[in-house]
């Protein structure tokens, strides 16, 4: 009798525990879904507003959460009324040139630190590492003066030059280069391979995953950069998308044309979102290895 | 050997050149600028050397407003975002289905242009002649009265700024904490389960101590990042932050350098050095607290 009772209570306990677990799970999923909503809602609103027509947007005192008559007119306006196409092209030129130059500079430096033996290497590396702690805000003032004195305001060189080195990426790449076994290098040396050829034919292919991560992170950084381009360009011919969007906000379209503004915002956000959808694993892995925003 | 020495430095040369011109030299120069009084940008001359720039900046009401704004922003957003990120990461690490989808979605703000999405926030929060805006309608639905968050009272502007800042910094924190939680050795949890330890106790006695280095890392980087706030504010309130009363210390530095109120690299340098001193002090205090709690 008592055994049957015990069995019953045990069942009850385990059922209660199960119910509790289910409830907890529901709470967790609702919580996560709620945060997901907060993250995604601005994007949805951006898309929705960008396909509402100007008149229907302004007629809605209570904004609707959907639209039955989507239009692409705003996108057309975004490219014709303001110079969005040019901002876009400028940003692509800036991003490609900066990233390409940076990859060359950091690869050479990382190779020197990882593979070559020379006097003063450790001291040089120590100094490089200590430069990582310097905030950009501190050096931007002089860089602004330097670029102005070089007559490079409103030029691509002025935009590009100050951001073609990154001590952090040199460090990241050096760590990766060092994982390649010494034997490979010695074998290549015996075969009479030059250092440069070894770097190009052996090290870079082996370290491709890290290089890709670095490139993607740099592209994101370039695409979103705002402060330096704003300081160095006041001619709209050289605006990047961030400055372009600020210009649009303050002078373009007329202040009230929110749908066209959202279309422009949409256009400049899409390339990075596509990049993210393709490479999200790489990007997240790269950032968790030590990237910070900005 | 001598040949090798030269080669090493040759490979380093481009990096050294760029770092020298755009990092090391500016670092020295910024200090020089900050002590040159009455520097004239056009003729590049100055009248004397001294601490006037610092005293000017410290007495400038715009700077004091910027300091106040920045401190409020830091004090509100750093603990709040770290706390929420911890909750979200704990929730993420306790589920299996859909985990990857959630992680990916949560990371999305990291890759977006802060100026672009800031405009969306502005539209959502702004009250115009045509419409009270999304958020205000939501507030009204819950029985509140609407506020203009973009051109309205100070607390409302501060609130949007904090919300947007948290929205922007969350992806990084969630990512770091989720991977920290995933790296806690499963054996500790199994042992605790055998002992019948309660969930709360497992959290305070195992999880928290194991991930505390990462939480600490996030707090330090969070402080540093929040003290440098600038473009989020521009996105919400436009480039004339002084007029909106929402300027930050970094914003003050740039305004002094360039724009309608610009042309004063000496004041900008002094303000930048003051910012650097504040950030350094806060970081050292953080490290000291950390050292103490470790020793105890």
pLDDT tens digits for A172-225? 999 999 998 888 888 888 888 888 899 998 899 999 989 998 999 999 999 999
B272–A138: do the CB atoms touch at under 8 Å? yes
State the burial class of residue A93 (Cβ atoms within 10 Å of its Cβ: 0-12, 13-18, 19+).
middle
In terms of domains, do B41 and B171 share one? no
Q: Report the CATH number of the A81-288 domain.
A: 1.10.3720.10
Looking at the domain assignment, is residue B110 inside a domain? yes
Looking at the domain assignment, is residue B285 inside a domain? yes
Looking at the domain assignment, is residue B252 inside a domain? yes
- Closest Cβ opposite residue A249 in set B6, B18, B238: B238
pLDDT tens-place string over residues B141-190: 888 888 888 888 999 999 999 999 999 999 999 999 999 998 888 888 88
CATH code where residue B79 lies: 1.10.3720.10
ipTM of the complex: 0.89
B113–A294: do the CB atoms touch at under 8 Å? no
B117–A42: do the CB atoms touch at under 8 Å? yes
State the smallest CA–CA distance between residue B78 and chain A in angstroms.
Answer: 15
In terms of domains, do B209 and B277 share one? yes
In terms of domains, do B96 and B242 share one? yes
Q: Which residues of A touch B4 (CB under 8 A)?
A: 116-118
User: What pLDDT sits at residue A61?
Assistant: 76
- Complete DSSP assignment for A94-117: HHHHHHHHHHHHHHHHHHHHHH--
In terms of domains, do B10 and B104 share one? no
Residues A83 and A251 sit within 8 Å (Cβ to Cβ): no
By residue range, what is the domain housing residue B242? 62-120+149-295
pLDDT tier at A293 (50, 70, 90 boundaries)? very low
Average pLDDT, chain A: 88
In terms of domains, do B116 and B244 share one? yes
In terms of domains, do B99 and B172 share one? yes
A62–B167: do the CB atoms touch at under 8 Å? no
Looking at the domain assignment, is residue B40 inside a domain? yes
In terms of domains, do B44 and B157 share one? no
Mutate to test the interface with A, among B120, B125, B177 (most CBs of A within 10 A): B120
In terms of domains, do B70 and B92 share one? yes
DSSP code at position B264: -
In terms of domains, do B16 and B105 share one? no
pLDDT tier at B1 (50, 70, 90 boundaries)? very low
How many residues comprise chain B?
Answer: 296
Mutate to test the interface with B, among A33, A46, A137 (most CBs of B within 10 A): A137
3-state secondary structure B61-81: HHHHHHHHHHHHHHHHHHHHH
B88–A32: do the CB atoms touch at under 8 Å? yes
B105–A269: do the CB atoms touch at under 8 Å? no
pLDDT tens-place string over residues B102-135: 999 999 999 988 899 999 999 899 887 677 788 8
Q: Which of A161-175, A279-293, B157-171 has the lowest mean pLDDT?
A: A279-293
Final residue before a domain boundary, out of B50, B73, B89: B50
User: What pLDDT sits at residue A193?
Assistant: 86
Among A92-106, A134-148, B89-103, top mean pLDDT goes to: A92-106
What is d(CA B167, CA B160) in angstroms, rounded to the nearest whole number? 10
Sequence-ordered alpha helix ranges (H) in B20-153? 25-35, 52-59, 61-93, 99-111, 114-125, 134-141
What is d(CA B220, CA A98) in angstroms, rounded to the nearest whole number? 30
In terms of domains, do B42 and B154 share one? no
DSSP code at position A138: H
In terms of domains, do B43 and B105 share one? no
Cα-trace Rg, chain A:
27
State the smallest CA–CA distance between residue A233 and chain B in angstroms.
Answer: 11
Looking at the domain assignment, is residue B140 inside a domain? no
Could you count the other beta carbons within 10 Å of the beta carbon of residue B99?
Answer: 15
The number of C-beta contacts closer than 8 angstroms across A and B is 254
pLDDT tens-place string over residues B16-69: 999 999 999 999 999 998 998 877 776 777 777 888 999 999 999 999 999 999
B15–A109: do the CB atoms touch at under 8 Å? yes
In terms of domains, do B256 and B287 share one? yes
Chain B residue with CA closest to A218: the answer is B111
User: What pLDDT sits at residue A218?
Assistant: 93
State the smallest CA–CA distance between residue A176 and chain B in angstroms.
Answer: 17
For chain B, how many structural domains are there in total? 2
């Amino acid at each position: 009798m008592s055994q049957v009772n015990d069995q019953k209570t045990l069942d009850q306990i385990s059922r209660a525990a199960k119910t509790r677990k289910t409830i907890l799970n529901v709470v967790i999923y609702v919580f996560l879904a709620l945060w997901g909503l907060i993250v995604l809602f601005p994007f949805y609103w951006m898309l929705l507003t960008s396909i509402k027509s100007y008149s229907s947007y302004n007629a809605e005192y209570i904004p609707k959460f959907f639209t039955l008559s989507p239009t692409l007119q705003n996108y057309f306006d975004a490219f014709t009324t303001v110079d969005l196409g040019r901002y876009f092209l400028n940003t692509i030129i800036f991003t490609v040139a900066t990233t390409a130059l940076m990859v060359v500079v950091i690869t050479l430096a990382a190779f020197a630190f990882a593979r070559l033996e020379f006097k003063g290497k450790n001291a040089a590396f120590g100094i490089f590492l200590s430069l990582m702690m310097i905030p950009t805000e501190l050096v931007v003032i002089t860089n602004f003066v330097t670029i102005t004195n070089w007559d490079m305001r409103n030029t691509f060189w002025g935009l590009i030059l100050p951001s073609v080195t990154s001590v952090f990426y040199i460090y990241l790449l050096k760590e990766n280069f060092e994982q390649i076994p010494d034997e490979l290098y010695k074998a290549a040396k015996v075969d009479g391979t030059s250092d440069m050829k070894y770097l190009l034919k052996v090290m870079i292919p082996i370290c491709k995953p890290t290089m890709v991560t670095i490139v993607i992170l740099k592209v994101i950084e370039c695409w979103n950069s705002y402060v330096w381009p704003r300081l160095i360009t006041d001619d709209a011919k050289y605006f990047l998308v961030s400055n372009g969007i600020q210009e649009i906000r303050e002078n373009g379209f007329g202040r009230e044309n929110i749908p066209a503004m959202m279309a422009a915002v949409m256009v400049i956000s899409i390339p990075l979102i596509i990049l993210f959808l393709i490479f999200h694993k790489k990007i997240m892995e790269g950032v968790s290895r030590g990237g910070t925003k900005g | 050997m001598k040949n090798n020495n030269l080669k090493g430095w040759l490979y380093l040369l481009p990096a050294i050149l760029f770092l020298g011109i755009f990092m090391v030299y500016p670092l020295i120069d910024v200090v020089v600028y900050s002590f040159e009084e009455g520097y004239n940008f056009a003729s590049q001359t100055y009248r004397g050397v001294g601490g006037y720039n610092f005293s000017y900046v410290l007495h400038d009401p715009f700077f004091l407003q910027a300091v106040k704004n920045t401190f409020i922003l830091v004090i509100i957003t750093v603990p709040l975002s770290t706390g929420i990120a911890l909750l979200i990461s704990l929730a993420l690490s306790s589920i299996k289905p859909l985990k990857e989808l959630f992680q990916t979605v949560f990371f999305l703000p990291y890759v977006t242009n802060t100026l672009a999405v800031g405009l969306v926030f502005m539209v959502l929060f702004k009250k115009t002649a045509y419409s009270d805006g999304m958020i205000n309608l939501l507030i009204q639905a819950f029985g509140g009265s609407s506020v203009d968050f973009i051109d309205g009272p100070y607390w409302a502007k501060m609130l949007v700024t904090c919300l947007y800042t948290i929205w922007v910094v969350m992806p990084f924190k969630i990512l770091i904490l989720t991977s920290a939680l995933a790296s806690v050795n499963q054996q500790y949890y199994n042992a605790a389960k055998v002992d019948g330890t309660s969930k709360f106790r497992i959290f305070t006695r195992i999880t928290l101590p194991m991930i505390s280095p990462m939480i600490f890392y996030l707090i330090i980087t969070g402080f540093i990042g929040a003290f440098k706030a600038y473009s989020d504010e521009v996105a919400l309130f436009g480039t004339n932050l002084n007029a909106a009363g929402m300027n930050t210390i970094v914003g003050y530095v740039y305004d002094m350098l360039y724009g309608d109120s610009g042309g004063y690299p000496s004041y900008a340098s002094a303000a930048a050095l003051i910012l650097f001193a504040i950030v350094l002090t806060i970081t050292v205090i953080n490290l000291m607290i950390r050292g103490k709690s470790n020793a105890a």
